[in-house]
Structure 1
Amino acid sequence: MTDATKADRAYLVLADGTVFEGRPFGARGVTTGEAVFTTTMTGYQEVLTDPSYFGQLVTMTAPEIGNVGVNASDTEAVDDKPRVAGFIVRSASPVASNWRSEQTLDAYLAHHGIVGISDVDTRKLTRHLRDKGSQNAAIGTESPAALLEIARKAPDMSGLDLVQSVSPKERYAWTEGRGVWAPTPGTPPRAAEHHVVAIDYGTKRNILRCLVDTGCKLTVVPARASAEEILALNPDGVFLSNGPGDPAAVTYAVDTIKKLVGKKPIFGICLGHQLLGLALGGKTYKLKFGHRGGNQPVKDLATGRIEITTQNHGFCVDLASLPSSVRSTHVHLNDGTSEGLAAPDLRAFSVQYHPEAAAGPHDSLYLFDRFRESMRGPKSS
């Protein structure tokens, strides 16, 4: 933010009429989306480029954002682009101080056309979203009345298929592991033991890196790839990625998964967890304000172990709707909602949280090894 803009005013206006005043940050203009908050303390660049945040105005609860700048290596979107609809911060650092920094956060957002707002009382905003629920909003320098009208005309997140906006159009191969960012730096990836087809609903790079490090040869396909196309690639297993929007609206993905279940081992993360739950006969519903952040506690019901996890979701699998053949494996300690399921007879399992972190803790990396082990069983056809 330059000195010339410090006197400028911008507004965040929620659909319920609540107005937050601040200063313009990043690109200038007007943007709309669902206002949400994340409690992660670090990793704002990973947040900005996570395709699961597509269509959302993301509030950072950490007070100072941008102090380490932005670089070309920490993006999570495969195409490197930021995916948020807008960015909301309390204090935007005007200085980027880190040996890896290539530009300031303000310049990065402006370059990519992401409208932001700083100097917002993010504590008050977060409490409001927690109490009243996530809702549509608008950010811009127009009058609050004009922004309120724009916010109220924006489509509701429920019923939205946003996967088609972030999924690739063509299949591609992925060979990059975590390298120096592995838990034990310098550890080479395992030899490619299994061929995995990953369905990209808006995947994060670090998920693909973790699969490579686990010993997977990866072929990544678009969200609309049919079961027949996937099985023709003769995979040893199928991975269902994260992604944005309402899982119940992605009916084509659910239909595809139904045709894959029982034929190949399946592992799903985040949206992939929800889609697997739907394919197995369950239902999903929208949470009041979702789970977003790198400090979310999850209990493994088999071991009693508590994992601190990275999460980013606004929808959830309804545990009561799952058939008896599907068991709950993990739950969120804060509200008891679904964080994992398994259908052992079908060699299918999934988790709602992000074991790959990026950014966040590494408590749950064992799940990638569990997927590898599931592919070592009897070959399915």
Structure 2
Amino acid sequence: MVDRANASGHIACMPERAAAMPNVLVIDNYDSFTWNLVHLIGPLCGTVDVVRNDALTIPDIRARAPDAIVLSPGPCTPTEAGICLDVVRDLSEEIPIFGVCLGLQAIGQAFGGDVVRAPLPLHGKVSTIRHGARGLFRGLNDSFEATRYHSLVVDRATCPAALRVTAEADGLIMGLEHAERPLHGVQFHPESIRSQHGTEIVKNFFDLATAWNTARDRTRADVH
């Protein structure tokens, strides 16, 4: 279970929990769903630091040396999402990153994809997510139900070659991963109570992040 946050946005997990990921930085895109997401990932972490998207710099993040970064949902476009595009461009070769909703859109735009209006805005709609059972979706059923809150999508026609589509719904991109970097995202909201497999998706990301960090002997000192 998750302990309470202090005034700086620092959350400590209960000490009896074994942490899948010791230290996670969540970049908050001024969205109420951020805290739902924090409470989903919190039980799997040693600590979670939540910082607004306009309250830190790339050097700040390197100094924090998180084991992974989560880009939260948000009400705006990637261009308006503070440091998020720079995080993807500048840090995704160094630090594993997981983007949710707006976070996925930032991943797509950072690599040259267009973020466009969805055919229909969906707010609280449950959709069937289909995937290839790899990466974030390893070990899951071929399809599952998840909640969507978005009016923008990464345009499939302009999705860059470096990014692989890992999930879809209604012909739209619902999941992305980078071909070489530890960079993953979902368009739907795994933290929603009506989404299936939210915890499993986060665990899969942390497994991928841990494997990346371990293979490169990445320690907190390496990032300074």
Common topology (TM > 0.5): yes
Which residue matches 2:122? Answer: 291
One of 340, 355, 360 as aligned partner of 2:190: 355
Matched, 1:197 2:34: no
Note the aligned Cα RMSD (angstroms): 2.3
Is the CA contact (8 Å cut-off) linking 1:294 and 1:361 kept in structure 2? no
Instruction: Give the aligned residue type for 1:336.
Output: G
Matched, 1:305 2:133: no
Which residue matches 1:369? Answer: 203
Which residue matches 2:64? Answer: 233
Determine the C-alpha separation between the residues in 1 that align with 2:17 and 2:117.
38
1:248 to 1:351, Cα distance in 2 relative to 1, 3 A: same
Matched, 1:326 2:184: no
TM-score (norm 1): 0.48
Which residue matches 2:138? Answer: none
Q: Give the 3-state SS of the residue equivalent to 2:206 in structure 1.
A: helix
Greater gyration radius: 1
Matched residue pairs, number?
200
Which residue matches 1:258? Answer: 89
Is the CA contact (8 Å cut-off) linking 2:108 and 2:160 kept in structure 1? no
Matched, 1:336 2:179: no
Instruction: Give the aligned residue type for 1:316.
Output: V
| Misfit runs of 4+, over 6 Å | none
Determine the C-alpha separation between the residues in 2 that align with 1:326 and 1:189.
34
Which residue matches 1:214? Answer: 44
Instruction: Give the aligned residue type for 1:308.
Output: E
Instruction: Give the aligned residue type for 1:226.
Output: T
Q: Give the 3-state SS of the residue equivalent to 1:355 in structure 2.
A: coil
Structure 1 gaps, min length 5: 1-77, 79-169, 178-187
1:192 to 1:349, Cα distance in 2 relative to 1, 3 A: closer
Give the CA deviation at 1:352.
Answer: 0.3
Matched, 1:282 2:110: no
Structure 2 gaps, min length 5: 135-140
Q: How many percent identity over aligned positions? A: 25
Which residue matches 2:181? Answer: 346
Determine the C-alpha separation between the residues in 2 that align with 1:336 and 1:261.
27
Q: Give the 3-state SS of the residue equivalent to 1:274 in structure 2.
A: helix
1:297 to 1:227, Cα distance in 2 relative to 1, 3 A: same
Looking at secondary structure, tell me which structure has more strand per residue: 2
Give the CA deviation at 1:211.
Answer: 1.2
Is the CA contact (8 Å cut-off) linking 1:268 and 1:351 kept in structure 2? yes
Give the CA deviation at 1:372.
Answer: 1.2
